[in-house]
Amino acid sequence: MFKSHIPMLLSLKHRFLFVHIAKTGGTSVRATLARYRYRGLWGAPMFIANKLDQMSGHRIGAKFPRHAKAIAAREMLPATLYDELFKFVFVRNPWDLQVSSFFHIRKERPQVLAGVTTFEQFIRLKFDPERPWNYLLDTSRERQRDYVVDLRGQQIVDFIGHYESLQADFDTVCDRIGLPRTPLPHRRKAQGRDDFRRYYNDETARLVEAHYREDIEMFGYRFDG
């Protein structure tokens, strides 16, 4: 189900901002922290603004989208407030992310695959240089790096967790924002998939490496782990 109406997860009472990159375990993080969003003095106005935005068909721009980048929040929030927030994000191995994306789209939005039945076809379509509009196929075509840096390429979030150590890194987040450690639920977990490396051949692995080179360099990922 497409959930563009769900806003970026911001808590003014607990002073945190979650930058949600698609397919990185963020749905589980949101499910655990959503209860804190509307607490405190500004909770009611935030709730009302969100509902008004939904009722207007998102015409009044009263919220940050679910998968907004950190730079959007920094541009819109007062500088002192943005600096005070604990801003965190989770990233994922780009090769693994593509497999997750393929299974998700095949289950949730099969109509957009337009006859694509194999993972190799999916990768070729997604990164076809003659079809730059293919970012519409899946938001994971965007570089994860772009979610955490400003226009000069400087990191503007405080903590980068990893999908591969999701619970341990989430525990660190909870410690930093002063909330109890909580086991993350398993949300939207793909069924019937194997280790991501088994879906690639040399060419498709290179296509992913070329597209996500900046992510691979910034977050230290490799194809073999």
Higher model confidence: residue 1 or residue 103?
A: 103
Per-residue model confidence (pLDDT) at position 91: 98
Element (H, E) at 16: strand 16-19
pLDDT grade, residue 1 (50/70/90)? very low
Question: In the predicted model, what is the mean pLDDT of residues 86-114?
Answer: 91
pLDDT tens digit string along 72-89? 999 988 999 999 999 999
Element (H, E) at 10: strand 9-11
Q: Could you tell me the two tokens for 194? A: 């194997």
pLDDT tens digit string along 18-71? 999 999 999 999 999 988 876 656 556 655 556 555 555 544 444 566 688 999
Q: Are 86 and 16 in contact (CB under 8 A)?
A: yes
Spatial separation of the C-alpha atoms in residues 38 and 76, rounded to whole Å: 19
Q: Given CA atoms 109, 112, 118, 124 in this order, what sign does their dihedral have? A: negative
Instruction: Give the contacts of 67 (CB within 8 A, at least 6 positions apart).
Output: 20, 21, 22, 139
| CATH level 2 (architecture), domain 9-219 | 3-Layer(aba) Sandwich (3.40)
Question: In the predicted model, what is the mean pLDDT of residues 107-130?
Answer: 87
Single-letter code of the amino acid located at 133: W
- In the predicted structure, residue 10 carries a pLDDT above the cut 80: yes
* φ and ψ at residue 155, rounded to 5 degrees: -65, 130
Spatial separation of the C-alpha atoms in residues 225 and 210, rounded to whole Å: 17
Report the candidate in 150, 168, 177, 165 with the shortest Cα–Cα distance to residue 88.
Answer: 177
**Coil, helix or strand for 160?**
strand
Per-residue model confidence (pLDDT) at position 76: 87
Distance of CA 73 to the CA centre of its chain: 15
pLDDT tens digit string along 152-203? 999 999 999 999 999 999 999 999 999 999 999 976 666 667 899 999 999 9
